[in-house]
Amino acid sequence: MSVKLTTRQVGDVTVIDAAGRITLGEGSSTFRDSIKDLTTKGHKKVLLNLADVSYIDSSGIGELVSGFTTVSNAGGNLKLLNLTKRIHDLLQITKLYTIFEVFDDEAKGLASFN
Amino acid sequence: MSNLENPKNVIVDEYLESSLDSVDSSEERAKVAAEQVGLPEDDAYQVGYAVREAMVNAIVHGNRYSANKRVHFVLSRTESSIQVLIEDEGTGFLPERQADPLAEENLLSQSGRGIMIIRSFVDEFVIEKAEHGGTRVVLRKTIPPGT
């Protein structure tokens, strides 16, 4: 299953609930297009919920980084929520833990934007 | 084949199309084979993941999705490991030319992390030039003793 993205608004924060696999091909391009669309529409506070993302390959990791850069360049912030152990480990291996703000509690993630 | 251990049991030996379907299928077969030889679930996931990354390199960077080029995929069990050979028909790859993905200035790069993750996930990973000029990689993950 490729990635499925559902967007909801909580105050001025856009939460993206992602489910499935973010891998080279359809999964990574879906994610990229969604982030571009949000920034074009002026959404600058983005919380990406990865609780239901079962798998992410290095291309998918690249898209996370690209999304972070896209939102940052628009003057906003992209933060991560609910990492599985495997995704957490990948962020450790790649040192991206030093780049992303990561939360395991949605309320805390939302509050961090204000 | 200097870096290839003698296989005790060849599980798959095929020439695959340069497509993302080949990436998916080889990852799944490697993961299942790793489970069947007794690797724990997390280790089997890592074998599948490493195979996926190596196949992406072969198909995207080596063969450049060419319909005329194949990837040789050999999955086997040796005395002590699960072993995968992946060989493309590209023009070769020099790993030393790759930028360090962990360097501060490269952390926000969109690509270049695959080989580093492969090295983290398997016990041995060798990249060499194939006889015909493409790239051959061999990766191995040790099977726990007694399985």
Domain ranges of chain B: 9-142
B60 touches chain A (CB under 8 A): yes
| HSE (side-chain half, CA atoms, 13 Å) at A70 | 21
Please name the residue of chain A whose CA is at the shortest distance from the CA of residue B51: A57
**Band (A10; pLDDT cuts 50, 70, 90):** very high
- Res. B94: pLDDT tops 80: no
CA distance B108 to chain A (A): 6
More confidently predicted of B96 and B21: B21
d(CA A34, CA A16): 9
**Band (A1; pLDDT cuts 50, 70, 90):** low
Please name the residue of chain A whose CA is at the shortest distance from the CA of residue B41: A86
d(CA A1, CA A6): 15
Kindly state whether residue A27 falls inside one of the protein's structural domains. Answer: yes
Nearest to A58 among B20, B45, B113 (CB): B113
- Res. A103: pLDDT tops 50: yes
Please name the residue of chain A whose CA is at the shortest distance from the CA of residue B43: A86
- Do B16 and B73 form a contact (C-beta atoms < 8 A)? yes
Kindly state whether residue A74 falls inside one of the protein's structural domains. Answer: yes
Q: What is the pLDDT of residues A57-98, one digit of tens each?
A: 999 999 999 999 999 999 999 999 999 999 999 999 999 999
Q: Is the pTM above the cut of 0.85?
A: yes
Cβ contact, residue pair A86, B20, below 8 Å: no
Contacts of B20 in chain A (CB under 8 A): 24-25
CATH of the domain at A59: 3.30.750.24
Look up residue B115 and give its two tokens.
């080989």
CATH number of B9-142: 3.30.565.10
Which percentage of chain B shows pLDDT scores above 70? 97
B61 touches chain A (CB under 8 A): no
Q: Which domain holds residue A63?
A: 3-104
- Residue B1 has a pLDDT of 45
